[in-house]
Amino acid sequence: MKRILVTGAAGFVGQHALSALSAASGPADRILGIGRGSPDVLPERVAYETVDLLDEPALNACLAAFRPTDVLHLAAMASVQQSADAPGETWRVNLIGLLNLAEAVVRSAPGAGFLFVSSGEVYGRAFLSGRPLTEAAAPDPQGPYARSKWFGETILRDLLARTGVRLVILRPFNQVGAGQDERFVLPSFAGQIARIEAGLVPPVLEVGNLAAERDFLPVGDVVRAYAELIARGVDIADGSVFNVASGRPRSIASVVSDLRRHARVAFEVRVAADRMRASEIPVAAGDATRLRTATGWTPRGDWDAAIADVLEHARARLGRPGP
């Protein structure tokens, strides 16, 4: 019987992860999500508690009562731009919360598997090679978000060494799906298009660097990778690092073209200075061969359906869903 704890369970990826784990779990398994907000819907066999990772007494009590066999740590400030605007908060949430969780796991669940969701952003300037990176590439993180994730990986190797807790590090690349907020590129475009369709703003889509290429995956593919790694448990070596990526970068210009095919009205595209990043990496893509070898995982989500879902979600938020 597995007892799976998911942090950040009320967030975009967290809610998708709860659904994937529920679908993959057996009748005796238990899944507990924790977070600061409230999930929209709880899948079958999933419980939820409001627990802030910065509240040590509450977190310790939760772990002592649940005694997880597996921990999927998703809770973080996950937006690169938000982290750049609030670096102090980023370090506080992404590192102090992680420290509190790791220490609580060591105390209450010393035999657990700890899956730390880091980020493909840790590779940073290593992407300047122009090719999809494997886990052997030396990280060179840029900015508070990426650096906090890289420091998190490093700290966990020290904290969990010789404790019996098995560490697995995951480096997902760009994830897309319904429910992601507009701090991320695809839902930002979808939100603008939905407002254009509703006649709330002029028919102008503001964009940043259209030439940039990024590795996108439907979020369902990403959380399925997490579920498959948890299912394999002790078969995954302690200290393993896995990219979760498609290996096929898409230009932001192509993303705009894909959204345009689903839009109900025509619009102009305009580059906005405030949407351009100061240190843009031209191409960022990952090689997930190691994950595929370990679990058999391969991306199988429908990109066009994911695009349509994101746009339909943006319309629904305005109260104007499609037929």
**3-class secondary-structure state, position 77:** coil
- Residue 45: the pLDDT is 85
Q: Please, are residues 134 and 215 in contact by the beta-carbon 8 Å criterion? A: no
> Of 227, 230, 278, 318, which Cα lies nearest the Cα of 21?
227
**3-class secondary-structure state, position 63:** helix
The residue with tokens 């940073």 is 124
- Residue 276: the pLDDT is 75
- Residue 87: the pLDDT is 79
Phi, psi (deg, nearest 5) at residue 111 = -100, 10
- Whether pLDDT at 26 is above 60: yes
**3-class secondary-structure state, position 213:** strand
CA-based radius of gyration for the chain: 20
Q: Please, are residues 74 and 115 in contact by the beta-carbon 8 Å criterion? A: no
- Whether pLDDT at 54 is above 80: yes
| Average pLDDT over every residue of 157-184 | 95
Burial class (CB in 10 A: 0-12, 13-18, 19+), 266: exposed
C-alpha to C-alpha distances, 29 to 104, 244, 316, nearest whole angstrom: 21, 25, 34
- pLDDT tens for each residue of 87-112: 788 888 889 999 999 999 999 999 99
- Whether pLDDT at 44 is above 90: no
- Between CA 74 and CA 112, with CA 177 as vertex, the angle to 5 degrees is 25
How far apart are alpha carbons 257 and 255 in whole angstroms?
5
Burial class (CB in 10 A: 0-12, 13-18, 19+), 288: buried
pTM of the model: 0.94
- Whether pLDDT at 323 is above 60: no
How far apart are alpha carbons 323 and 34 in whole angstroms?
35
* Identity of residue 226: Y
Strand 283-284 relative to strand 213-214: parallel, antiparallel, unpaired? parallel
- Whether pLDDT at 83 is above 80: no
